[in-house]
Amino acid sequence: MTTAVPRSLRESEVRQDVREFLASEPVRAELERLSLLPPGEEPGHSEIFQLLGERGWLAVNWPREYGGLGLRAVDAATVAEELALAGVPDVAHVLSVDIVGLFLLMAGTQEQKARHLPPLARGESIATVLYSEPGVGSDLGSLRTTADREGNGWRITGRKIYSQKSQFASHGLCAARTTDEHGTGISLFMIDMMAPGVRVSPIWNATEERFDDVSLDVWVAHQDVIGPVHAGFDVLNTVLALERTGIDYQGRVRRWFDAIRDMAQRTGLAEDEKLRGRIAALDTKIRAGRLMAYEAVAAIDAEAVDPVASARSKWFNTELAAEVVELGLDVGGLMSAVTRWDGEPAWRETLESMYRESPNLTLSAGTSEVMLKVIAALGLGLEG
C-alpha cells in the first residue's frame, strides 16, 4: 500500500515520517539481519528497499506515474540523508534511483521510462552503471568499449571495471563509443545483464562490498539507446552534476562521526581538552559540508544546476571522511583493529571498516582530483 504524501508537506514532516519508518520493527529486523551477514557477503535486494518502495520513498521526486511522489529534490535528499544516518546500505539505491533512474528521466523515451522506472521505484530490481574501463579511470572521453551497428541494433564489445552491484543487477547503463572522435561520439545503452555475452566477475577489494569486472560482447536493440546517438557525453556531464550533491556521503560521514564521538564520551576521552576541541572543530566542518550539500540540492529544485557547487560539496564531504577516520583511530586505540571477522560490531560499523571504506568515497562519482579540476575550470576560470 502506497502512502500518499502531499506536495505541500514540509521537509521536517518528511524527515519525521522517514525516521519513524526507519525505527519500525521490520526495518530494525532487516538491519540486524544485514549486520549478521558473514564476511564476503553483501546486501542485494534488501527488504528495506521494497518497504521504501511501497511508500514511494525510494524515488520521492519522480513523477507518480513512475512510482514516485512528485515531490522536490530536497525531499529526496532528506530521505537519502536519513537512510545514510540510519546505516541502511545505500549503494543499490544510489545506483538504481539517483543515477540510472535520473538518466532515464532526463533522456529516456516514454516507453523506456514506463518499462524501467517503476520496478526501480518499487525496489524490485537493481540497475548498475558501466562506465569505468581499464586504463581510463575518470576520463570518460577516452572510453574504448565500442558499439557498432548490427542489424536493427548495436553490438557492444569491451570491458568495464569497478562497477558495483552488477552481480545483482537486472540492467546496466553502459557508455560506449559510437564514433572514433575523442571526447565525443559516446552513446548510452541499457543492457540486459542476464543477456548472453555479459559476463560478471568479482574484483575483491578492501571494502565491505565487491567491485565487478564486466566483459561485454552483447547485442542491444536500437530502442535501448538512451538519448540521442553520439550525444551521451553531454548527457553524462549534465547528470553527473546532479548526482554529486554529496548528500549520501555527508550522511555516512556524519554517522561515522557520531559513533566515534559517542565512543569518546563513553570512555571519558572526551574530557581531554585537546580532543574535545578537535571534536568540536570537526563537527563544525561536517555541519558546513551538510550546508554545501543542500545548497547543491536547492539549485536542482530551482532548475539552476551548478556543477561547481556540486563538485565542491562532493569534494569537501568525501575528503572529510579521512579526518573522521583519523579521529576514530585515535579514540579507538586497539579497538580500531577489531573487524567483523572477530564477531564484534555490526556491518560497516567497526572503526576498521570505516578506515577501509573512506578512500572509496573520494573515488566514486568522480575522484577528488576531478572535482578540483571542475572547481578550478568552471568556478575560477583557470585553464590547464
pLDDT in tens, 233-269: 778 777 777 778 889 899 999 999 999 999 999 999 9
> How would DSSP label each residue in 4-56?
P--TT--HHHHHHHHHHHHTSHHHHHHHHHHHTPPTT---SS-HHHHHHHHTT
Q: Is the pLDDT of residue 5 over 70?
A: no
Task: Pick the closest to residue 359 from 328, 331, 320, 313 (CA basis).
Answer: 320
φ and ψ at 45, to 5 degrees? Answer: -80, 80
Residue 7 burial by CB count (10 A; 0-12/13-18/19+): exposed, middle or buried? exposed
Q: What pLDDT, on a 0 to 100 scale, did the predictor assign at position 239? A: 75
Q: What pLDDT, on a 0 to 100 scale, did the predictor assign at position 288? A: 96
| CA distance linking residue 71 with residue 222, whole number of Å | 32
| CA distance linking residue 110 with residue 104, whole number of Å | 9
Q: What pLDDT, on a 0 to 100 scale, did the predictor assign at position 114? A: 96
Higher pLDDT, 228 or 191: 191
Mean pLDDT of 326-347: 79
- Mean pLDDT lowest among 17-26, 144-153, 154-163, 301-310: 301-310
Q: Which CATH class, in words, describes the domain spanning 244-379?
A: mainly alpha
11-89 folds as: Butyryl-Coa Dehydrogenase, subunit A; domain 1 (1.10.540)
Q: What pLDDT, on a 0 to 100 scale, did the predictor assign at position 326? A: 95
pTM: 0.86
Rounded to the nearest integer, the mean pLDDT of the chain is 87
Q: Which CATH number fits domain 129-231: 2.40.110.10, 2.40.50.140, 2.60.40.420, 3.30.1310.10?
A: 2.40.110.10
User: With bands split at pLDDT 50, 70 and 90, how would you rate the model's confidence at 126?
Assistant: very high
Mean pLDDT of 276-302: 94
Decide if 244 contacts 365 (C-beta within 8 A): yes
Share of the chain above pLDDT 90, in %: 53
Q: Is the pLDDT of residue 210 over 50?
A: yes
For the chain, the structural domain boundaries read 11-89, 129-231, 244-379
Q: What pLDDT, on a 0 to 100 scale, did the predictor assign at position 337? A: 83
Decide if 163 contacts 200 (C-beta within 8 A): no
